[in-house]
A and B are shown apart, each in its own frame.
Chain A
Amino acid sequence: MFGIGLRTVHFNEILRDLPKLDFFEAISENFMDSGGRPSHILDKIAEHYPIVLHGVSMNIGTSDPLDFDYLRKLKALSNRVNARWISDHLCWTGVGGRNTHDLLPLPYNEETLHHVANRVLAVSDFLGQPLVLENASSYAEFTTSTMTEWQFLAGLVELTGCKLLLDVNNIYVSGYNHGFDPKTYIDAIPRGSVLQYHLAGHTNYGTHIIDTHIGPIIDDVWSLYAYTIEKLGDDPWTLIEWDAEIPDLATVVSEAERARDVAAALHA
């Protein structure tokens, strides 16, 4: 299954052309509080395509209490559009009741692992389905980390039964920024734990890469995607994200078609 992220600039084209895609991913927070046109469009699109919800504000890794007001609205939205699953990021976005609206990295150690695991269990229980967590790109690592991100993710899957949204571009970005081999990361992901892949473009500043979701996906990330589906299978749904200087719908759809071709080549 191959899809793209639902973006406002494509609303009219999508409803007019019904492009050849298998699903759309909607950013949860863009639709949770809006009763206007975006929600109306999402409902229309949900009549034609499966929808998965992808959040940026669950704040699963914060030391603040869980926000059940947020979770209630998220669950209601999921029910409304019959979302196949709900994902968010392995990160924290704020603390002390304040939100940076950024996907901030966590120190990877036993304390954080058990803290996040307890919250993942609580959220999954509340939502009535396993939470799906995505590996976020990161630009900093903590002195208090005692394990790698892939060890942390594998531990989280083992403790909670959560599912993973493996962002192949994010693994590439973090590998560049932190100096690890992305294939080592992918090799450590438990097979069967992944429900979805993400692919996107990024911006390389030489000293570091920022996960900007701009431009087409680079060849190195395509190669890593091929490696990933060879190791972990192509059952997980693959989604293209494009969030800056968003091109016309056909260009984004062509990236999804390329992902479809990469997967097909493995079976050829």
Chain B
Amino acid sequence: MLERVQSWMYGVIADPRGVSIASREADEHILPSRTLSAAERVLIYNGMYLSRFVEALGVDYPGLKYYLGDEQFDALCARYVQKHPSTSYTLNRLGDALPDFLTGFERDLARLELAMTAVFDEEETPSADLTQLPPERAEMMRLVPIKASRLLTLRYNSNECFTAFRDEKPMHPRKQKTYVLVHRKDFAVYRDEISKKAHDFLRELFAGKTIGEAILAVRPSQHALFEWFRDWSAAGLFRSFGE
């Protein structure tokens, strides 16, 4: 009996047809109060259902919300939650499938925001001091990135657009292949736009290749290598190294 009544109530709350289900069937399950009918009482929960998810998705995708505007964002959330209802104890996972629910610039921007959320939540891992890399064996070394890092290839200027959102300026999306390293240091999340070569080099390292193998695959200049390692060392991007 409990399962039956819970399944019914879930339908009233989460199904887009909840209002009509409640108006037909609420009297069977719900008592009226002094002031509200059975349907009005159970529909209080229906009214709060979507707003909770819109709020949660708005926290994870503030740039997308800014780009779409409240009305379109709310409508997107309604469509998304209908297709991807929460199946987790945490709302943090609700938006995981949102990028793949979108296309074009919106998908690109959502991928960036999802990476930022993931990096924000990742487990803290200590950073290695890359100045301790033994020069004579450096090419044999494999570097393990900190957990709070993500490497992205974007098809639009989404990182620039996200910065515009942060600065409360209009976004001007345009097609432009960009490479972004999202990482965390001292619990702050950073978005670094990097060159294609730097991206490809990091991709090799993140895949477990040695520094020597990455150099062979990407063929960077000595100057670029020096700058990358200087920046990544300062960013605490790697947690360990070894052969």
Which A residues contact B (CB, under 8 angstroms)?
A: 29, 32-37, 39-40, 57-59, 62-63, 67, 70, 92, 94-102, 104, 106-107, 111-112, 115, 139-145, 177-179, 206-208, 210
Per-residue CB proximity of B115-134 to A under 8 Å, as 1/0?
Answer: 00001111110000000000
B187 within 8 A of A: yes
In angstroms, how far is the closest chain B Cβ from the Cβ of A62?
Answer: 7
Set of chain A residues within 8 Å of B184, measured between Cβ atoms: 36
Residue pair B6, A92 in contact (C-beta under 8 Å): yes
How far is A34 from B44 in the complex, measured between Cα atoms in Å? 31
Set of chain A residues within 8 Å of B2, measured between Cβ atoms: 63, 106-107, 111-112, 115
Which residue of chain B is the closest to A63 with respect to CB atoms? B3
Residue pair A95, B7 in contact (C-beta under 8 Å): yes
13 A-B pairs within 8 Å (CB atoms) are namely A33-B121, A95-B10, A96-B7, A98-B87, A100-B52, A104-B45, A139-B45, A140-B42, A141-B31, A143-B30, A143-B31, A206-B35, A208-B44
Residue pair A179, B33 in contact (C-beta under 8 Å): yes
How far is A67 from B122 in the complex, measured between Cα atoms in Å? 22
How far is A92 from B10 in the complex, measured between Cα atoms in Å? 10
Set of chain B residues within 8 Å of A107, measured between Cβ atoms: 1-2, 5
Set of chain A residues within 8 Å of B1, measured between Cβ atoms: 107, 111, 144
Set of chain B residues within 8 Å of A97, measured between Cβ atoms: 87
| Given A57-B90, A100-B13, A107-B5, 8 additional A-B pairs, CB 8 A | A59-B89, A95-B10, A99-B88, A100-B45, A100-B86, A102-B48, A140-B30, A143-B29
How far is A95 from B184 in the complex, measured between Cα atoms in Å? 37
B153 within 8 A of A: no
How many A-B residue pairs have C-beta atoms within 8 angstroms? Tell me.
127
Set of chain A residues within 8 Å of B89, measured between Cβ atoms: 29, 57-59, 67, 70, 99
Set of chain A residues within 8 Å of B53, measured between Cβ atoms: 101
In angstroms, how far is the closest chain B Cβ from the Cβ of A141?
Answer: 5
Residue pair A139, B44 in contact (C-beta under 8 Å): yes
Set of chain A residues within 8 Å of B7, measured between Cβ atoms: 95-96
Residues of B64-103 contacting chain A, CB below 8 A: 85-92
In angstroms, how far is the closest chain B Cβ from the Cβ of A243?
Answer: 12
B147 within 8 A of A: yes
Which B residues contact A (CB, under 8 angstroms)?
A: 1-3, 5-7, 9-10, 13-14, 28-31, 33-36, 38, 41-42, 44-45, 48-49, 52-53, 56, 85-92, 119-124, 147-148, 184, 187
Set of chain A residues within 8 Å of B187, measured between Cβ atoms: 36-37, 40
Set of chain A residues within 8 Å of B52, measured between Cβ atoms: 100-102
How far is A112 from B45 in the complex, measured between Cα atoms in Å? 21
Residue pair B121, A101 in contact (C-beta under 8 Å): no
How far is A40 from B185 in the complex, measured between Cα atoms in Å? 13
Residue pair A102, B45 in contact (C-beta under 8 Å): yes
Which residue of chain B is the closest to A107 with respect to CB atoms? B5
Residue pair B5, A142 in contact (C-beta under 8 Å): yes
Residue pair A100, B49 in contact (C-beta under 8 Å): yes
Which residue of chain B is the closest to A98 with respect to CB atoms? B85
- Assess A208 versus B35: contact at CB under 8 Å? Given A33-B92, A102-B48, A143-B28: yes
Which residue of chain A is the closest to B27 with respect to CB atoms? A143
Which residue of chain A is the closest to B53 with respect to CB atoms? A101
Set of chain B residues within 8 Å of A92, measured between Cβ atoms: 6
Set of chain A residues within 8 Å of B29, measured between Cβ atoms: 142-144
Set of chain B residues within 8 Å of A39, measured between Cβ atoms: 124
Contact pick for A139, options B41, B88, B92, B121, CB 8 Å:
B41
